[in-house]
Each structure stands twice: as C-alpha cells, then as structure tokens.
Structure 1
C-alpha cells in the first residue's frame, strides 16, 4: 500500500498536507504496528524490513506503546558509502484517529540531519581554530609587554618592540583574512569587468616590501594588454595577493616567486610559482582547508594565518573557475587558477562555513 493510499483515510486535505512535509512521519496503532506513513518517510527509508533506519523506527514505535512509556529521542547512524545521520523522535499519542482505529498509538517523526551536524562541526572547529590562532600571538604580546616594562637598554627595547609589532601584525592579518573569507562566503559583492593584469601588478607592488625584507625576489610575467574577466575586484585581488604572499612566505632567502598571467584555452590563467620547500603529496588536497598547515611551526614564523589557500579556493569557486596545485618536497610549488572570461556574478554564499 503506497503512502498516499495509507494516509487517505484522514481525508484528502490531511494526506496532501502530510505528503508536503519534508519530515518523515509514521503512525502506529495500539500494538505498535505501523499503519500509516507519509511520502517523506518512504523517501528517507531505504527498506522498512531490512534497513537500519526502518528497523529502528519500528522498534521505537513498539517501545512507545508499552504502558508507562514516554517520549524517545535519538540519533540513528546509517552506514554506507556516504553515511547518514537521522534524528528520530517517537512518542505515544492518545488522540483518536482513523489511522489507529480509534485507539491510542504512537507517532514517529524523523529527518536527515547529516548536513546540519557537518555544519555544526565545521563551526565548532572554526571557533576553536580561531581561538587557538589568536591565543598564540596575544600571549606573546602580553609576555613581551611585561619584559618591555621598565627596560632601559635601547637595543633591548627596540628588539622587544619589533617583536610586539610582528605579533600585532599577525593578529591583524588573521582578522583581515577572516573578514575576507566571511565576505566571500556571504556576499556576492559588485560584479564588474576586472583587468587581471592590473590586479597582478598592484599585488606585486604591495607584496614587494615584504619580499625584500625576507630576501625573496618577485618577478611578474604580464601581458602588455588588458585581460579582463567578469567578477568582484576585491575578491580577485584577495585571490592573487594570497597566492603571491604564500609564495614569498614559503621561499627561502634568495628564492624567486614568479607571477604569470595569460590567456589559455579560452580562459584567463593566473599562475604563481615559488622555489620553496614544497608540499608532500599527501597534503595537496588538505592545504585548501582552513587553518591547515603542512609545517605549523614554520608558518607561524612567517606570520601565515592558515587561511590563504582557503580564501583562494572560495574565490575561484565563486567565479566559476578551477584551481590546481603542483608541488613536490624540495621542488617548490605552483598554483594555477583558471577563470572563465564570462564568469558573471559570483555565487552568493549561504552563510555556512565551508570545510
């Protein structure tokens, strides 16, 4: 008997209303036997006889009609290639209904909460990571300030002041990256025709002081004419800036970072290469995750927030492009971004934090 037929005894209005609900609903009679369910229930349950979820709901309905039974609420994990988690709520009911033959029974409501739990986990990890990343420089600033208090040696004062400035910039950079990432995820920005040649040139000029301080050379290989894409200029600047800054930060003194912009196969191409230590193959996919670091100690030494490549990935996805990473330990890293010329307005974020 189909779900619509089973619920038809409530009348067409009731049946239609229940079938429109995304939540699975199952009614049981006084013996705990299922007598009615809506369309969502059948869609969510693979098998009522053999499936993990179907069997668990049947068991809980039987428990709910026992004397003295109260509400039951639990999460049911369904294994598989893509495991799912369902939240199940079962309670006895005393309402007289046609479905239960005019006697007491039980009702089960359940829904797929896999995505909700994933987002909640991402949010918890995000808050924990931000707290950890802020704790380190703030703790250092506090200790350095204590050491500086009452210090009269000019050389020591200069050294401690410089370190306080470094830690303060680290906090500032982290906050700036967090704001950039949040803006990218939640706001489409204003889309316009953006010249990637100008963007790359501006970024190289901006990063040059840091590169000189670290003893790293930055070379730009740019077309003589404009290379325009449709997109949000601030986001594209953030994309290129993070790529170039990463290249500089992870290069040894005397290293070279190359910035290349061109057209290839009908797409705009931005490629940034460095001569740094490289990234192990096992970490290639994970470097685009928030706060993931291949070498955490070295990243903190260079002031990295661990958000740069996550920002790059989000901007690229929002503009309909692709990003590829080539790297090997001891052989440097090359990140290549390809963007369609007619990318249009970037995808508007949902407000959820991406992994």
Structure 2
C-alpha cells in the first residue's frame, strides 16, 4: 500500500511526458504540413503565371523564324504538348529535385544562376535590415516617449519620406552626391574591377569570403561598395520599423501598469525599456521579418541603379529577354524566402510568448 502513491505519481509523470512529446510531434507535423501546403500553393501560382503570360517559351528558344517542324519538336521536347495537369506534376517534380530549367540568357541551369546571384542580394539586404533595426527601433521608441515634440515630428517626416520617395531616384541622388560629388563611397558593382576573381566564392558573400581568404583590402573595398546601396535599403526599412515601433510604444505607454510603475518611482529608463518595450518585442519580430523579406524582394531598382549582380538584377534581365525559366525560378526563390522568414517569425513568436505555445 505504501508504494502505490509513488507508482501512481511516476505513472502520472510518465503520462504527462508522453502527452507533451505527442503534442510537440503533432505541432511539428502541423507546422510541416502548413509549410508544404504554402509552398505547393506558391508552385501553383508560379506555374500558372508561366502559362498565362503573353510570352511563348518555345519561340524564345527557337526564334520567330523557325519552321513549324522545329517549333513542334521543341514544344514536345519542353513537354508543353502534354495536358496542363501533367505539366504541373512534372514541374513540381523538377522543382523538388532542384531542376529549374535552363536559362536562355546565360545558357546555364537556372538553379546555378540563382545560387550565384542570390548571395549578393542576401548580403545587401542583411546589412540594410541591420541598419533599419539598429536605427529604426530606437527612433520609434524616442518618438513615442517624446510625442508631439519636434523630435517626434522629424522622425515621422523621415518615415513619410521612406514611404514616398522612389527607390531608383534616391539611388541616383546618392550616387551623384556621395560617389560622384563627395567621393565618400565607391561606385556601382560589388568590388573594383581589379579585385574581381581574386577571392574564391565560398559562401558568395564578399565580406565573408574576403575575411576567410584574409584579404582585408578586398573586404574594405567590398564594404565601401556595399555601404551606399545597403544604407538606402536600410532607410526604407527604417521608416517602416520606426513607424510601427512608435505605434506599439504609444499603446503600451498608455497602459495602467506603466502608470503604476511611474507612480511607484521606477526610473523612467526602466519604465520605457522594461515595462513598455519588453511586451512589444514579439510584435516587432513580425515587423522586422516582413521588412527583411521585402528588402530581399524589393531590391530590384537598387540593384539596377548600382549594377549590383543580385537576384533583382537577374530577374530584370530575364524579363527583358523573355527568359521565362529564369523569371519563374527567381520568383520561386523570392516567394520561398517570404515563406521561410514568416515561419521563422512564427517560431520566434512561440519561443518568446508562452501564450502562443498553448
């Protein structure tokens, strides 16, 4: 009789552990299914876009002077004579095996081209979002704590400019002022011409690869080229992050627990950063994630202005040459980045907010 309570407690703990493991596995399965379903939806969208655009992929390959026999042979070789459902199944199978087709423009597999150009965009967008977060969050907090003052108005005007100024115009002005006029930064491209090909592309990120190769001179040259376009991207993300941070902070500063903390004599700095800012960090994760994804997707104009060999420049060139395999491949990568960043944001949200776990 004396051992029954111990055995019952052990059994209860075992049941709780098994329930927790089962719950975690079920949550993981739901997460994977939702991710897979979202990715399949993205595949369907890119596939049908490729079928409804007024561009004939067969003519892009054989030319408009090819005979009917050559045209039909190429059409059959590309699988476009099959029913649409079979074409989609084949497209999904190709994507999951890493086959995105051949690029008409470069003559290489699209997957290889994307692996070559995407790190350039990733590098610029990463520096841009770091600038946006490191400046935008403190600016938003400062604007909220000084609501109605000239500082608040100035930060709101900067946010408005970030929403309204065209990216290509700001890029051209930046080149004219800081490169051509003042000479503070390097010009277009990732590095100077005489530095190209010296560093082996291990990761595709010039800053990282130059440090791995211990080429500090190339590192500083790459950083010099990166500074202006990344700062312009960072300005656009800064505007959005600062605006949302200000809004979140104003809502928290109006809460009763903040007023209670001030009445109790808690130092203002602790009230702001511990009581008011601490709850909004979860909301900021979503804001920052969306801003980062937007920079990866919306860098087309900046890459064009600065001759930056990234995915935006690659996508623009593919559109101009009717290279549909490259267009769809780049669109698929950009969409996948959005899905991945959103899922990472969801995971971080659950880690930081215990209520979301239940």
With the shorter chain as reference, the TM-score category is: under 0.3
State which structure, 1 or 2, has the greater radius of gyration over its C-alpha atoms.
1
TM-score of the pair, normalised by structure 2: 0.25
Bigger proportion of residues as helix: 2
Q: TM-score, normalised by structure 1?
A: 0.25
